[in-house]
Structure formats: structure tokens, C-alpha cells
A = this chain, B = another copy of it.
Amino acid sequence: MSRRERERLARRAAMLDAATALFAEKGYASATLDEVAERAEFGKGTLYNYFPGGKEELLFAVFDDLFDGLRALFAEHFAHADDRPIRAVYRDLIARLLHHFSVNQAAFYLLIKEVQRMVIEGDGAKVAGLMQRRDETIAMMEAPLRDAMDAGTIRRLPASAVAHTIMGNVKGMLMYLEPPPDCPEPYAAQTSFQTLDETADFITTILFDGLCALPESNA
């Protein structure tokens, strides 16, 4: 039982890794199962033993992995972040998210691109499930926001919209400053920020302090 099943899980993971990388590199539509099989070092037929639903089941399994990763990040972050100032908690969360997506570029591209595509092109039930997972994940940011609103520490606004806004700005800034992957010549020069920490500060400043609230007298 153990040996066999452990191997099975390892193979499944290898396939998921290959699929994740390829879907991110070439896009779901352009990646072929032959390539996935080749990269995972299995025959194509074997993919169908592990993912009978074929290419689409593979994609959803990849999504599940990505959301699990994000949820783990949120859970871990908020577990250690009690009773610190809300702005600091979210500044660090934003920095963590930037780091997470920066290390794990495949996750980043899949979440901004393929989730989007499924939402737009996919059929009802599948999309609904996907959106629900996405919203559940993002909703993990909401409770501390609500608490802070109740405590009067931050402005009262729809918490769900604020959570989506934070996530959206993380993705947006990464998009803005990492338009690669293979980055042609005339790009990348004017990115404004050198480090992910600077980027996190920028996002935090805009979202928490606002453009209008001037820091000091200013010139």
C-alpha cells in the first residue's frame, strides 16, 4: 500500500509540475499534452491514467494547487500577525505576495491569465467552482479588514472589494514591472522600482495613505 501509493503521488506531482510550468510558459491553449508528457518523463497515455478528464482536468488540478499555495500563505501570515497595526500587517502581506509570485512565476502567470481565460471562456459550472475558490481565497484577507473597520482604524468600505483591490494591485504591479518572460530589448528600462520592498511600499502607500494625504510639507 505505502510504497505503491507514495510513487503514485510522486508521479502525479511530477505531472502537475510539468503542466504548471508549460501552461504558464506557453499558455493552456498552446501547450500540448505531448509536451507535458515529455517534460514529466511519462508517456502521454499515462497522463490519462492520472487525469482521466484530460487536459482540462489537468488545468483545474493546477489551479487547485495554486490556490492551496495562496491559502497557505494567507493562513500563515495572519496567524503571526495579531495585534500589529493594520497597515503594517498588510504592508508585509503585500510584500509576501509579491515575493511569492516573484519566486513562483508560473503561479503568477496562470492566476492572471488562465484563470481569467476560464472565467471568460469556460462553461458555467466549471467557472462557478473556480470563481468560488478564488473568492474564498481572497476572502481570507477580509476578516482583519472588517475588524479594523469596526475598530475605526481604517475607513469603512466594502471589505470584499478592498480585499480584491489589494490582490489586484499586487498582480497589477507585478505585471507592470515584469512584462517578460523572455523580455525583448526595448522594455524593462522604465520600471520605477528596484526591489519588491519598494514596490510593496508603493502599493501600501497608495492604498492606505492615498495620493492626496501629503506626508509632510512637501515641495
Contact = CB atoms under 8 A, between A and B. Distances in A.
Given A162-B211, A193-B161, A202-B158, A116 B112 contact: yes
Contacts of A29: 27, 29-30
Interface in A164-219: 164-165, 168-169, 172-173, 175-176, 179, 181-182, 184-187, 190, 192-193, 202, 205-215, 218-219
Q: What does DSSP make chain A's interface, helix, strand, loop or mixed?
A: helix
Nearest to A192: B158
A190 B138 CA distance: 14
A117 B117 CA distance: 10
A21 to B, nearest CB: 13
Contacts of A46: none
Interface of A: 26-27, 29-30, 87, 109, 112-113, 116-117, 119-121, 124-125, 127-128, 131-132, 152-158, 160-162, 164-165, 168-169, 172-173, 175-176, 179, 181-182, 184-187, 190, 192-193, 202, 205-215, 218-219
